[in-house]
Amino acid sequence: MFPGTWSEKDTYYAVNGVLGQDAEYIWHGDEKLDQYDAIVLPGGFSYGDFLRCGAIARFSPVMEAVRNFANKGGPVIGICNGFQVLCESGLLPGVLMRNDHLEFRCIWTDLKVENPSTMFTSTATAGQILHIPMSHGEGNYQADSATIKQLEDNGQVIFRYADTDGNITPAINPNGSINNIAGIINERGNVMGMMPHPEKASEKLIGGDDGNVIFTSMIENIVTTLA
Amino acid sequence: MTVSQETLDEIALSRDEYEAIIDRLGREPEPLELGLFGALWSEHCGYKHTKALLRTLPASSERLLVAPGAENAGVIDLGDGLSVCFKIESHNHPSAVEPFEGAATGVGGIIRDIFAMGARPIALLNSLRFGQPDDARTRYLMNGVIGGISSYGNCIGIPDVGGEIFFSDSYKGNPLVNAMCVGLIEDGKMASASAKEPGDLLLLVGADTGRDGIHGASGLASRSFEEQAEMRSAVQVGNPFLEKVLIEACIESLDLPGVVGLQDCGAAGITSAAIEMAERSNMGLKLLIDKVPRREQGMTPYEVMLSESQERMLLAVTPGEEGPVFDLFEKWDLDATVIGEFELGENVRIFDKGELVTSTPVITLTDAPEYKFTGVKPQWLTDLQDADLSAIPVPAESPSTLLLKMLAAPNIASRFPIYRQYDYHVQTNTVVEPGGDAAVLRLKGSKRGIAVSTDCNGRICYLDPEIGTAIAVAEACRNLSVTGAEPVALTDGLNFGNPETADVQFQLTESIAGMSRAAEAFGIPIVSGNASMYNQSSGKDIYPTPIIGSLGLLEDVEKHATVAFKTEGDAIVLLGTDSTWDGIDGLAASEYLDLIHGKVEGQPALDLDLEIRTQTVCRDAIASDLIASGHDVSDGGLAIAIAESAIIGGIGASITEAPGERWDAAMFGETQSRILVSLSPENLSKLEDITSALNVPMTLIGSVGGDSLSFGDSISTPLVDADDAWKNGFTLATSD
Chain B segment 241-270 residues within 8 A of A by beta carbon are 241-242, 244-245
Q: Is A186's pLDDT higher than 90?
A: yes
A206 closest CB neighbour out of B239, B333, B429: B429
B157 closest CB neighbour out of A6, A47, A106: A6
- State the pLDDT confidence band at A2, using cuts at 50, 70 and 90: low
Q: Is B707's pLDDT higher than 80?
A: yes
* CB contacts, 8 Å: B157 with chain A: 6-7, 44
pLDDT at A50: 54
Q: Could you tell me where the beta strands, DSSP code E, fall in B324-448?
A: 335-343, 347-352, 355-361, 430-432, 439-442
> What's the rounded Cα separation, in Å, for the pair A218 and A125?
15
B332 closest CB neighbour out of A3, A14, A47: A3
Which amino acid appears at position B84 of this protein?
Answer: V
> What's the rounded Cα separation, in Å, for the pair A136 and B508?
42
CB contact under 8 A, B423 and A135: yes
DSSP bridge pairs for A191:
A76
> Which CATH architecture does the domain made up of A8-226 adopt?
3-Layer(aba) Sandwich (3.40)
Of all residues in chain A, the one with the smallest CA distance to B440 is A206
* Same fold flag, B1-41+191-368 and B379-413+561-736: yes
CA B312 to chain CA centroid, Å, is 23
Interface test with B, best of A205, A212, A215 (most B CBs within 10 A): A205
Q: Is B265's pLDDT higher than 60?
A: yes
Do the beta carbons of residue B268 and residue A28 sit within 8 Å? no
| Mean pLDDT for the stretch of residues B134-155 | 93
| Mean pLDDT for the stretch of residues B160-183 | 95
**Quick count: other Cβ atoms within 10 Å of Cβ B513?**
18
Consecutive H or E run containing B6: helix B5-11
Q: Is B726's pLDDT higher than 50?
A: yes
> What's the rounded Cα separation, in Å, for the pair B437 and B676?
12
Q: Is A52's pLDDT higher than 60?
A: no
> What's the rounded Cα separation, in Å, for the pair A89 and B415?
38
DSSP bridge pairs for B629:
B678
Domain positions in chain A:
8-226
CATH number belonging to domain B379-413+561-736: 3.90.650.10
- State the pLDDT confidence band at B242, using cuts at 50, 70 and 90: confident
Nearest-CA distance B695 → chain A (Å): 34
* CB contacts, 8 Å: B422 with chain A: 104, 106
Q: Is B228's pLDDT higher than 60?
A: no
> What's the rounded Cα separation, in Å, for the pair B114 and A172?
39
**A200 to each of B501, B559, B664, how far by Cα in Å?**
51, 21, 44
CB contact under 8 A, B150 and A199: no
**Quick count: other Cβ atoms within 10 Å of Cβ B387?**
18
Do the beta carbons of residue B258 and residue B321 sit within 8 Å? yes
> Annotated catalytic, B49?
no
- State the pLDDT confidence band at A61, using cuts at 50, 70 and 90: confident
Do the beta carbons of residue A18 and residue B169 sit within 8 Å? no
| Mean pLDDT for the stretch of residues B582-608 | 98
Q: Is B601's pLDDT higher than 70?
A: yes
- Among residues B49, B91, B560, B631, the one annotated as catalytic is B91
> What's the rounded Cα separation, in Å, for the pair B548 and B454?
5
B241 closest CB neighbour out of A45, A206, A207: A45
Alpha helix positions (H), B542-599:
591-597
| Mean pLDDT for the stretch of residues B696-716 | 97
Nearest-CA distance B654 → chain A (Å): 28
pLDDT at B225: 47
Mean pLDDT, rounded, of chain B: 93
* CB contacts, 8 Å: A133 with chain B: 425
Q: What digits encode the pLDDT tens for the residues B461-516?
A: 999 999 999 999 999 999 999 999 999 999 999 999 999 999 999 999 999 999 99
* CB contacts, 8 Å: B419 with chain A: 106
Sheet containing B627-632: order of strands: B627-632, B675-679, B571-575, B698-704, B653-655, B708-711, B715-718
Do the beta carbons of residue B212 and residue B308 sit within 8 Å? yes
pLDDT at B226: 45
Q: Is A160's pLDDT higher than 90?
A: yes
Q: Is B250's pLDDT higher than 90?
A: yes
Question: Is B186 near chain A, with CB under 8 Å?
Answer: no
Q: Is B583's pLDDT higher than 80?
A: yes
**B340 to each of B178, B193, B349, how far by Cα in Å?**
33, 16, 10
Nearest-CA distance A80 → chain B (Å): 12
- Among residues B44, B49, B93, B215, the one annotated as catalytic is B44
> What's the rounded Cα separation, in Å, for the pair B481 and B475?
9
Do the beta carbons of residue A201 and residue A211 sit within 8 Å? yes
pLDDT at B537: 82
Do the beta carbons of residue A46 and residue A56 sit within 8 Å? yes
Question: Is B430 near chain A, with CB under 8 Å?
Answer: yes
- State the pLDDT confidence band at A53, using cuts at 50, 70 and 90: low
pLDDT at A119: 95
**Quick count: other Cβ atoms within 10 Å of Cβ B626?**
19
Q: Report which of residues B519 and B42 the model is more confident about.
A: B519
User: B40: closest CA among B56, B55, B63, B24?
Assistant: B24
| Mean pLDDT for the stretch of residues B136-141 | 94
pLDDT at B229: 45
> Annotated catalytic, A131?
no
Of all residues in chain A, the one with the smallest CA distance to B449 is A205
pLDDT at A56: 65
> What's the rounded Cα separation, in Å, for the pair B104 and B522?
34
Three-state DSSP class for A41?
strand
pLDDT at B215: 66
Q: Is B420's pLDDT higher than 60?
A: yes
Consecutive H or E run containing B510: helix B502-522
- Among residues A8, A53, A80, A136, the one annotated as catalytic is A80
Q: What digits encode the pLDDT tens for the residues A18-44?
A: 998 988 888 877 788 888 999 999 887
Give percent above pLDDT 70 in chain B. 97
Interface test with A, best of B245, B428, B450, B556 (most A CBs within 10 A): B428
> What's the rounded Cα separation, in Å, for the pair A190 and A112?
20
CB contact under 8 A, B241 and A50: yes
* CB contacts, 8 Å: A44 with chain B: 157
Give percent above pLDDT 90 in chain B. 76
A107 closest CB neighbour out of B245, B420, B442: B420
Question: Is B414 near chain A, with CB under 8 Å?
Answer: no
> What's the rounded Cα separation, in Å, for the pair B614 and B673?
7
| Mean pLDDT for the stretch of residues B623-629 | 97
Interface test with B, best of A60, A105, A106, A134 (most B CBs within 10 A): A106
CA B708 to chain CA centroid, Å, is 37
CB contact under 8 A, A47 and B241: yes
> What's the rounded Cα separation, in Å, for the pair A131 and A134?
10
**Which residues in B163-191 are b (16+ Cβ under 10 Å) and which e?**
bbbbbbbbbbbbbbbbbbbbbbbeeeebb
pLDDT at A46: 65
A205 closest CB neighbour out of B157, B332, B442: B442
DSSP tag of B366: H
Fold of the B1-41+191-368 domain:
Phosphoribosyl-aminoimidazole Synthetase; Chain A, domain 2 (3.90.650)
A106 closest CB neighbour out of B241, B425, B442: B425
CB contact under 8 A, B429 and A47: no
| Mean pLDDT for the stretch of residues A99-115 | 96
> What's the rounded Cα separation, in Å, for the pair B57 and B515?
7
CA A108 to chain CA centroid, Å, is 16
> What's the rounded Cα separation, in Å, for the pair B34 and B28?
9
**Interface pTM (ipTM) of the complex?**
0.92
Instruction: Give the HSE-up count for residue B208: Cα atoms under 13 Å, Cβ half-sphere.
Output: 10
Query: Dihedral of the CA atoms A197, A201, A207, A208 (nearest 10)?
Result: 130
Do the beta carbons of residue B577 and residue B438 sit within 8 Å? no
Interface test with B, best of A2, A6, A175 (most B CBs within 10 A): A6
Question: Is B731 near chain A, with CB under 8 Å?
Answer: no
Burial (Cβ within 10 Å: 0-12, 13-18, ≥19) of residue A170: exposed
CB contact under 8 A, A48 and B423: no
CB contact under 8 A, A6 and B333: no
pLDDT at B437: 96
Mean pLDDT, rounded, of chain A: 90
Q: What digits encode the pLDDT tens for the residues B324-340?
A: 999 999 998 899 999 99
Domain positions in chain B:
1-41+191-368, 49-190+415-555, 379-413+561-736
> What's the rounded Cα separation, in Å, for the pair B196 and B198?
7
Q: Is A151's pLDDT higher than 60?
A: yes
DSSP bridge pairs for A157:
A184
| Mean pLDDT for the stretch of residues B338-348 | 95
| Mean pLDDT for the stretch of residues B284-293 | 94
pLDDT at B147: 94
Fold of the B49-190+415-555 domain:
60s Ribosomal Protein L30; Chain: A; (3.30.1330)
